[in-house]
Amino acid sequence: MEIFNTITTVSSETIQEFEKLSSSVVSDAMDILNLEHGGCLPYTIRPLHNYAKTLVGPITTVYAPEGTSLPVHLAMATHAKNRVLLIATDNYESCAFLGDIQAHLAALNGCKGIILDGFVRDKDGSKDLDLPIYCTGTYPKRPGKADLGGINIPITIGNIEVQSGDILIADTDGIVVIPKEYASAVLEVAKEKNASDIERLKRVKEFNYNAANNIHDFTSILTKDVAEYVKKNM
């Protein structure tokens, strides 16, 4: 098993700014910047329970192949404090990789959240924890403990390559990974996009729908690209 202990990430102030945003706005910002790395994790990874707060934090990567949970246990003990554990299992479907005891351990050890492309178990035992868990489902079979995988090594989930220290944002819409080297740029564009969305929503709510008779009357509340299409083609 490969374990690396020294990683770099962004400032706590940057993390706090991302906490004010949504995964959708952050995803839009990354599209606007045409970033080649990072992006949305598979939609099959969903919240285990309903969580009131958006999960944002620096990532500790964990690779747990072939049904082993050994690297997961080790990461929870020594690499979880103030971090999000992002666990790549290669979509393994024959066991769960953690249960309520491990969830309690991670939560009490200061872990900000756990996300994996695999199953968990003991769902009811983790519902009252201050620990967001996102996974592909539940399954009662326990995992193995083979000496495989690693911690703080590059992983891939879906088609997204992830490095430890990258930033993760997760909410009811889904999960987005932000490469740490682009965090500042993404944050600034996302804040601008968020402000624009708030203003457009205000216009949509205040629009006089009864006075609109054709598609051109709606251009002020359409997205910019759709409005431009209407003006040029209709």
Give the predicted TM-score (pTM) of the model.
0.93
Per-residue pLDDT, 165: 97
Neighbours of 212 (CB within 10 A): 14
Per-residue pLDDT, 147: 97
Distance, in Å, from the CA atom of 54 to the CA atom of 59, rounded to the nearest integer, reads: 15
Q: What is the mean pLDDT of residues 109-131?
A: 97
Model confidence band, residue 197 (pLDDT cutoffs 50, 70, 90): very high
| Tokens (6 digits) for 67 | 């049904």
Reported as a single tens digit per residue, the pLDDT across 42-83 is 999 999 999 999 999 999 999 999 999 999 999 999 999 999
What percentage of the chain reaches a pLDDT higher than 90?
A: 95
Model confidence band, residue 173 (pLDDT cutoffs 50, 70, 90): very high
| Tokens (6 digits) for 167 | 């930033």
- Of 1-10, 11-20, 62-71, 87-96, the least confident: 1-10
Per-residue pLDDT, 7: 82
Reported as a single tens digit per residue, the pLDDT across 142-158 is 999 999 999 999 999 99
Distance, in Å, from the CA atom of 89 to the CA atom of 165, rounded to the nearest integer, reads: 19
State yes or no: pLDDT of 6 exceeds 80. no
Nearest CA among 57, 64, 45, 94 for reference residue 183: 57
Residue 177 CB burial class (10 angstroms; 0-12, 13-18, ≥19): buried
Model confidence band, residue 201 (pLDDT cutoffs 50, 70, 90): very high
Per-residue pLDDT, 66: 97
| DSSP one-letter string for 210-228 | GG--SGGGGGGGS-HHHHH
- With the CA atoms of 15, 19, 22 and 28 taken in that order, what torsion angle do they form, in degrees rounded to the nearest 10? -30
| β pairing state of 160-162 and 46-47 | unpaired
